[in-house]
Amino acid sequence: MTFHERKLRFEQEQKPAEAVILKFHGVPGYDVYNCSIPFTWKGARYIFGRVERRSEWSRSWVRLFESTGTDEYTLVPNQMIYALEDPFISVIGSELILGGTHVRIINGAVDTYRCYFYRGKSLDDLMYFTTGPDHMKDIRLVQLPDGIGVFSRPRSADVEKQYGSASVVGFTRLNSIRELIPGVIENAPVIPGMFSAGEWGGCNQCYCLSTGLIGIIGHKSYTHETAQNGKQLVYTNVSFVYDPVSNRIVDEKIIATRGRYPAGPSKIPELSDCAFTSGIVMRPDGKADLYSGLSDTLEGRTVIDDPFKGFGQIVDCRP
């Protein structure tokens, strides 16, 4: 069964679930999408969002919003404005790590893009400290009991020629956040079998599990063309369970598609079936709130079953 066939079956079999579009205040005229997961820092709940005009490309900013109601967030004034796309966060030791994709434009065209990383204990004083390799998005960090896990995401014609998929994911360990440098990320050993021919994807948020495994909330993508809709870039929300000892994926499943969330506009027609994953936040009832960017215009939330059930509970692995 192809992944597209799996997606169609998932959509036929999924049951109705709570699903909403997040509301953002304080940035009129701009879309907010492809956010970080919501997080609590020093007693308040926040989210970093990608802010961009509907008509523009590669001209977005990452800004901080504070929770001011159920599924509502308001811009925090007088905060740093980051020239980034698609923010993500990790808590490593006692510090918050903010990352995102910086796109470099030369003469009106994209020259390269890289992940930029910031760290600190105060949200209004995060300091830039390192950059990922050229042309690599979706680098993710996770605190482990014995160090820091790093997931890479090489994507290139050479990768496709060697591995048969448009992208791969690698994994390596660090003893200290100071070791997060481009060469280390680029040389992370590849995890086999995450994507098939014509597919690409990556990690969006990673979680330490009580069993020693690592839970990954990510995305898997491919191109699909129909006579009715033409070419579509299909992005799905998926979960992986990764065994770092054997370097293999022991579980993988679709957890949501664009159709699970409320309808809304897309930046361009080709992105109407796009759900770019943010991550999950566990709920008191044992289920999970899954957050996702939608069609490059919105951020959604839906309720799903614990995607890691049977493989361990999410735990705080900080030593």
For residue range 283-300, list pLDDT tens digits in order. 999 999 999 999 999 999
Give me the number of domains the chain comprises. Answer: 1
**Higher model confidence: residue 252 or residue 229?**
252
The pLDDT assigned to 226 comes to 77
User: Parallel, antiparallel, or unpaired: how do β-strands 140-144 and 147-152 relate?
Assistant: antiparallel
Residue 131 has pLDDT above 90, yes or no: yes
Say if 310 falls within a structural domain: no
Q: Is the pTM of this model over 0.85?
A: yes
Report phi then psi at 189, rounded to 5: -60, 135
The pLDDT assigned to 256 comes to 98
Say if 315 falls within a structural domain: no
Percentages of the chain per state (helix, strand, coil), in multiples of 5: 10, 50, 40
| Residue 67 identity (one-letter amino acid) | S
Say if 164 falls within a structural domain: yes
Say if 309 falls within a structural domain: no
- What DSSP element (H or E) covers 292? strand 288-294
The pLDDT assigned to 307 comes to 98
Residues in the chain: 319
Which CATH number characterizes residue 296's domain? 2.115.10.20
115-149 burial, b at 16+ Cβ within 10 Å, e below that, comes to: bbbbbbeebeebeeebbbbeebbbbbbbbbeebbb
Residue 229 has pLDDT above 80, yes or no: no
Q: Residue 314 corresponds to which tokens in the numbers above? A: 């999410």
CB 166 within 8 A of CB 201: no
Give the up-direction half-sphere exposure of residue 311: CA atoms within 13 A in the CB hemisphere: 21
Say if 316 falls within a structural domain: no
- What are the angstrom distances between the C-alpha of 234 and each of 55, 127, 198, 286, 300? 21, 35, 12, 29, 16
Alpha-helical (H) ranges within the chain are 3-13, 157-163, 182-186
Task: Kindly tell me the sign of the dihedral angle through the C-alpha atoms of 82, 94, 137, 187.
Answer: positive
The pLDDT assigned to 73 comes to 98
- Measured between alpha carbons, how far is 86 from 105 in angstroms, rounded to an integer? 17
Say if 278 falls within a structural domain: yes
Residue 184 has pLDDT above 80, yes or no: yes
Coil, helix or strand at residue 280: strand
Average pLDDT, the chain: 96
Mean pLDDT, residues 54-82: 97
- Measured between alpha carbons, how far is 230 from 226 in angstroms, rounded to an integer? 5
73: containing domain: 3-303
Residue 134 has pLDDT above 90, yes or no: yes
Say if 176 falls within a structural domain: yes
Say if 308 falls within a structural domain: no
Residue 225 has pLDDT above 90, yes or no: no
CB 159 within 8 A of CB 200: no
Residue 318 confidence class, pLDDT cut points 50, 70, 90: confident
**pLDDT, tens only, 296-314:** 999 999 999 999 999 999 9
